Amino acid sequence: MESLSNKRKVLEVKPLNFLERAYLPAIMGGLATTMKHFFKKPVTISYPEEKREFSENFRGMHSLKRDENGKERCTACGLCALSCPAEAITMTAAERKPGEENLYREEKYAAVYEINMLRCIFCGLCEEACPKEAIYLDGDIVPTDYLRKDFIYGKDKLVEAPLNQ
């Protein structure tokens, strides 16, 4: 049958000649190749001491943002939790008390906000879903730990550091 793509290649299997059957020349070739690699610079990046440069749209650990006055942006609307395909996010909403205006931007805020880093797949859908620009995956690689419970990150780890006035 004629080939439509013209990409077909007919391979010819030639019997090995004497030098090829003698193994040794091929082995020398192999040894030369490996020796070339011996003097190459290693490609290893010694993580934790060295870090690979992240790409611009790298998605790492989440951070809950504050606005320009240092108030928490999150209003606990739950859209991030709803959009999360791994169901890693949970939160409890609370009402802002009088006198807390400098802490929370709107009347409703997240009293508890937890992300299970073992469930999270770092897809960034929470970031896209957030109407308040409150959550971004702009952090570092999530560090390792020993216990499962320690991977559930609360507000203490997620909320951005307060502005220094």
Partner 1 sequence: METTDLIFRIVLIVIIFAISLVVAMYSTYAERKVAAFFQDRIGPNRAGPWGILQPLADGGKMFLKEEIIPTNATPFLFIVGPSLAILTACIGSAVIPWGQAIVIGGHTFDLQVTDINVGILYIFGVVSLGVYGIMIGGWASNNKYSLLGAIRAASQNISYEISMGLSIIALLMLTGTLSLKEIAEQQHGFAWNVWRQPLGFVLFLVCAFAETNRSPFDLPECETELVGGYHTEYSSMKLGFYLFAEYINMFISSAVMATLYWGGYNYPGMDWVAAHVGPTIAPIIGVVVFFGKIFFSIFFFMWVRWTIPRFRYDQLMDLGWKVLIPLAIANIVLTGVITTLLN
Structure tokens at 69: 């006055």
User: Whose Cβ is closer to partner 1: residue 41's or residue 148's?
Assistant: 41
52 binds partner 1 (CB under 8 A): no
Q: Least Å distance between CB 71 and partner 1?
A: 45
Q: CA-to-CA distance for 143 and 157, rounded, in angstroms?
A: 12
3-state SS, residue 79: helix
Of 2-10, 36-44, 61-69, 139-147: span binding partner 1 (CB under 8 A): 36-44
Q: Which helix (H) or strand (E) holds 129?
A: helix 125-129
Longest CA–CA separation in the chain, Å: 93
Site pattern 8..27 for partner 1 (x: CB under 8 A): ----------------x--x
Of 31-39, 55-63, 130-138, 151-159: span binding partner 1 (CB under 8 A): 31-39
Q: Which helix (H) or strand (E) holds 116?
A: strand 108-116
46 binds partner 1 (CB under 8 A): yes
User: Whose Cβ is closer to partner 1: residue 4's or residue 24's?
Assistant: 24
Applying CB under 8 A, among 31, 82, 112, 121 the residue interacting with partner 1 is 31
Please check whether residue 62 is in contact with residue 135, taking contact to mean a CB–CB distance below 8 angstroms: yes
DSSP string, 85-99: TT--EEEEEEEPPTT
Q: Which residues bind partner 1 (CB under 8 A)?
A: 24, 27, 30-31, 33-35, 37-38, 40-44, 46
